[in-house]
Chains A and B, each alone.
Chain A
Amino acid sequence: MAKKKEEELTYVDKKGKRLDGRGLTDLRPIKIEVGVVPRADGSAYLEWGQNKVVAAVYGPKECLPKHTADPLKGRVNFYYRMATFSVPDRKNPKPGRRETEISKVCSEALQKAIFLEQFPNTAIDVHVEILDANAGTRIAGLTAAAVALADAGIPMRGVVAGCTVGRAGGQIMLDVTKEEEDAPDAVDIPIAIIPSTEEIVLLQMDGLFTKAEWEKALPLGLEGCKKIAKLQEAALKKRFETKEFLESVEAERVSEQALPQKPRVNPVVAAGPMLSADASETLDEENQEMEEALEEEVEQ
């Protein structure tokens, strides 16, 4: 809503500079750190301008309560929460309707990326806590969560990357700040994609926007998402391309080779009710082979 007659701000000056000195297509400074919560299966800390976010992933694990489990695929429980001190007025610690909605759309954005069909009957919990907020926290949270999922080693079609595009002072711009979001004509559009395919997995908007403006905003937003994807990739590489990590992977590989072959667990056994006709056949064959092998041993 338009604020009553505050002093008129120039959102973009004659040189194309914004209030914080950025150009129209510039992102705020972004820092991503991977593996910041040792107890979690995967985690990330992200600073996006003034926004500060911690994301942690637990799972895939047993889906509780049990009736919420899906026998065909895993669930993604996304919890977007804001710390009471993260906004100018103290936020009520009880999660509100806004948080519920953001959690839902972020969960759905990740569901497309994760190979959930590999984890039937399980849940993946993704916790996002906003420690400091200055516009664009849902996208900051989702971006951090995607990195945390990759850190957890959860197989994905891609690391979901997001960005906001918007309007302030009549200009379409990337990555709006709180100050710009409070402009009388502000429009804020969070977008998230799977970078490799440019599939749009999250898209929201509010404000008054023309079709022509949207057609200008979308390509800019997609460019922003791709820039974020590069930063996510770099952060993950920094974590995993270390000498220690590569050596530990190599050591694990060698020790696995040295071990006697473990009996292979057929993944369909875990899925239980999904057992298809041909899957059970191969299972029977394997069982038979094992039984035969046992009998031979006994005979010898």
Chain B
Amino acid sequence: MSILMELQADAAAKAIREGKRLDGRKFDEYRKISVETDISKNADGSCRVKIGETEVVCGTKCLPVEPYPDTPNEGSISVGLEMLPIASPEFETGPPQPRSIEMARVVDRGIRESHALDFSKLSIKDGEKVWSIFIDLYTINDSGNFFDACSLAALKALSETRLPKLDDKFQLVKGEYGKKLELARLPLEITFYKVADKIILDPTVAEEEASNARFTVAVTDDEYLSAFQKGGAGSFSAAEIHQCIETALKKTKEMRKIAFK
């Protein structure tokens, strides 16, 4: 971390200790969220999500594959996340680091475990061919809160995904698509950050640096909790967790309204 960032993190923590944020937002206030779809024609579904200046893009590719032996009649999804060095001076090239592996897995879990997508509907021919949907996220600019941006982008791209047409030999027919995937649920993740013993939402990079713990909650549109993830070296009390869940139930509703009109 650069000296400048350390100073910014100190300033962010000081403000939060005094009940304020440097950009004047309330503790639970998000920056402007915007979603743009169809940003890549070659993708089977794609979108760009911005939360304030934070930006991620997401695209999906559907491939006919052999099913896993233990689920012969089910397709699957896989979420990948590349923290491109484009996005921040802190990111480097090379294989995915624990941070991006964790984030991708938490996003994957939010979607998978909420049963948003009926995997049995992704079977092409039971026991022989099923769809494997690759949901790949790329960071474009890091201004904090990649967790929520990635979760939103992955779900949005998935909801925009059309399965490609196949010929008799299960080969892809280029450029021809069926209808959009049906999502049974819309799980969104929201991440709480603990800074100076207070809990905030949608942190800037400086606020992220100042925080010592975070807690992600995935909530579906029918008010189920579908994933938790605590991270960071700090801790949460049981009461704080309860409060986070309460807030998550409300906030994800607002986000869903913006992203899935």
Which A residues are closer than 8 A to B by beta carbons?
1, 4, 97-98, 100-101, 103-105, 108, 111-112, 189, 194, 198-211, 214-215, 218-219, 222
Contact = CB atoms under 8 A, between A and B. Distances in A.
A100 B245 contact: no
Contacts, number: 98
Interface string B218-248: 0010011111111111111110011001100
Q: Is the interface of B mostly helix, strand, loop or mixed?
A: mixed
B113 A4 contact: no
A28 B105 CA distance: 29
A97 B105 contact: yes
Contacts of A198: 237-238
Contacts of B229: 105, 203-205
Given A1-B119, A208-B114, A222-B238, A203 B98 contact: no
Nearest to A215: B242
B136 to A, nearest CB: 14
B225 A211 contact: yes
Contacts of B241: 200, 203, 218
Contact of B223 (A98, A101, A210, A222): A210
A194 B235 contact: yes
A88 to B, nearest CB: 10
B114 A111 contact: no
Given A1-B71, A207-B226, A208-B113, A199 B236 contact: yes
A208 B237 contact: no
Given A206-B113, A208-B226, A211-B249, A201 B74 contact: no
A98 B109 CA distance: 12
Contacts of A206: 109, 112-113, 226-228
A4 B74 CA distance: 10
Contacts of B245: 211, 214
16 contacts: A104-B102, A105-B231, A108-B233, A199-B235, A200-B230, A200-B237, A200-B241, A202-B230, A205-B225, A206-B226, A209-B224, A211-B225, A211-B246, A215-B242, A219-B238, A222-B238
A42 B236 CA distance: 28
B73 interface: yes
B138 interface: no
A205 B98 contact: no
A179 to B, nearest CB: 15
A234 to B, nearest CB: 25
Nearest to A222: B238
B101 interface: yes
A104 B115 CA distance: 26
B193 interface: no
Given A98-B105, A103-B98, A208-B114, A201 B235 contact: yes
Contact of B230 (A97, A105, A219): A105
B215 interface: yes
Contact of A200 (B71, B104, B238): B238
B211 to A, nearest CB: 12
Interface in B52-101: 71, 73-74, 98-99, 101
Given A98-B105, A206-B112, A207-B226, 8 more contacts: A97-B105, A104-B99, A104-B101, A105-B229, A189-B228, A200-B236, A201-B230, A201-B235
A202 B229 CA distance: 8
B105 A101 contact: yes
B228 A203 contact: yes
Contacts of A203: 215, 228-230, 236, 241
A23 B73 CA distance: 35
Q: Nearest 3 A-B pairs (CB), nearest first?
A: A199-B235, A205-B228, A111-B233
Nearest to B238: A218
Given A101-B102, A218-B241, A200 B109 contact: no
Contacts of A97: 101, 104-105
Contacts of A219: 238
Contacts of A208: 113-115, 220, 224-226
A100 B237 CA distance: 26
B225 A210 contact: yes
A206 B189 CA distance: 12
Contacts of B225: 205, 208-211, 214
A108 B231 CA distance: 7
